[in-house]
A and B are shown apart, each in its own frame.
Chain A
Amino acid sequence: MNQPSPRNILRWFDPRHRQPGTWAFILNRITALGLTLYLAMHLIVLGKLAQGPAAYDSFVALAHSPLVKIGEMLVIAAGILHGLNGLRVAITSLGFATRYQRQLLWASTILSGILILIFARAMFLGG
């Protein structure tokens, strides 16, 4: 299919022959979907709080597995990447520093990387 078509949906996520701006777009879209899913799950899970101490505490104990921890780390990483790149998109989309969008992209990516490492350290090494 050469024409625009919803059937080309997978092309959004094809990073080949693309600019860093598209890589950021791909990452933003994937993290957006992930975070939306997490938001829904988070709201549902926190409903346990309304059921009193027993329900919540037993749930938290259940959720204390390493798999859940990795999942939480993914959510934090997605939030940081989406947030900082989103800030870049918001600023440049309003015509500010648009010509420096690529430098801003590197800056936001490096900052995201540092923040993710800090959070990972705190989470897995208890620092």
Chain B
Amino acid sequence: MTQISHPSNPKEPLGLWLFKIITGPIILVILTIHFLVNHLLAPNGLLTYAEVIAYYKNPIVPIMEIIFVCFAVAHSLTGLRGIVLDLNPSQRILRIFDWLLLILGSTAILYGIWLALTIASA
């Protein structure tokens, strides 16, 4: 007879899952706006440095891009964690992976914010 293995993540309720479900549609909305604006305001598709700088002069653009990078990074790394969870990680490996994702995610987000602000102030 097999003894059932104890759930490896007993204290992990709905939070992360719900986060992924909510950020998904938000990203979809921002991405749609991004594409529409990109197409209407910059018909050439922002292919030169000057065009990008001009585009970022509108304060809505860097704000939108910053929100977008936060949600996109968080959503994708949460999803990545979901895939790893499917692979039966031990508690130890999961904790290490969590830290890795946290460092990676915050670095990416900080870098994204810095980049948007740099371009906006160029």
Cβ of B72 under 8 Å from chain A: yes
Q: Do the beta carbons of B21 and A79 come within 8 Å of each other?
A: no
Indicate if the CB atoms of B52 and A56 lie closer than 8 Å.
yes
Contact of B50 among A29, A53, A79 (CB under 8 A): A53
Tally the A-B contacts, defined by beta carbons under 8 Å.
65
Contact A56 B69 (CB under 8 A): no
User: Are the CB atoms of A90 and B49 closer together than 8 Å?
Assistant: no
Q: Is the CB of B24 within 8 A of A90?
A: yes
Q: Please report the C-alpha to C-alpha distance between residue A78 and residue B108 in the assembled complex, in whole angstroms.
A: 21
Answer yes or no: A114 CB below 8 A from chain B CBs. no
In chain B, residues 68-95, which have Cβ atoms closer than 8 Å to a Cβ of chain A? 69, 72-73, 76-77, 79-80, 83, 86-88
A52 on interface, CB distance cutoff 8 Å: yes
Majority secondary structure, A binding face: helix
Pair B76/A9 contact, Cβ less than 8 Å: no
Known: A43-B112, A50-B119, A86-B25. 7 other contacts (CB 8 A): A32-B83, A43-B69, A43-B108, A46-B115, A56-B49, A56-B52, A90-B24
Binding site for A on B (CB under 8 A): 21, 24-25, 27-28, 31, 47-50, 52, 69, 72-73, 76-77, 79-80, 83, 86-88, 108, 111-112, 115, 118-119
